[in-house]
Amino acid sequence: MRLFVGLDLPWETKQRLAVLAGGIPGARWVPPENYHLTLRFIGEVARYQAQEIDLALAASGGKRFTLTLAGLGTFAKGGRETQLWVGVARNAALEHVQGKVEQALRRAGLAPERRRFVPHVTVARLDNAVPGKVAEFVQGHNLFRAAPIEVGQVCLFSSRLGKEASVYEVEVEYPLG
């Protein structure tokens, strides 16, 4: 199984993000049903390990909180932009929950995450996008802001590669207190 831990977004928020789609030639826009905020990518694991991950996440706890999606940015690799994302306004409660997820996954036997946590929602893949258009788009939408989101659970997602896009499915929901 290919897994990751994240926050599912309310449908209203997904619709608000979908308004951004378009305006960058060559970009592959993420389908709205796939919008989520990744807390920790896990990758391929065996069934027994998925069960250990489930047990560790169930015991990780955390409190409900509110977050706000705000601003746009890109990730680059080798000098080329690869992803367009909507960011998250600074949020100590989100960082706390992400830290609890990381601790739980270490208890389940996973190696520590080496990358710094940068909370975001990917809205497009930019492999073939025109670079100048990406910069224009980010500048033109940098004041983007969505309504605050009440976060009441963390989710364990599975990911399967599809023809057009990956298919994400919530496998387990872990309520926050």
Cα(38)–Cα(8) distance, integer angstroms? 9
Check if 96 is active-site: no
Which of the residues 3, 16, 27, 36 is marked catalytic? 36
Check if 36 is active-site: yes
Q: Which residues of 25-48 are buried (b: 16+ CB within 10 A; e: fewer)?
A: eebebbebebbbbbbbebeebeee
Q: Which residues of 51-60 are buried (b: 16+ CB within 10 A; e: fewer)?
A: ebbbebbeeb
Which of the residues 14, 16, 40, 120 is marked catalytic? 120
Beta bridge partners of 1: none
Q: Are 105 and 98 in contact (CB under 8 A)?
A: no
Q: Are 153 and 174 in contact (CB under 8 A)?
A: yes
Q: Are strands 120-125 and 80-88 parallel, antiparallel or unpaired?
A: antiparallel
Q: Which residues are catalytic?
A: 36, 120
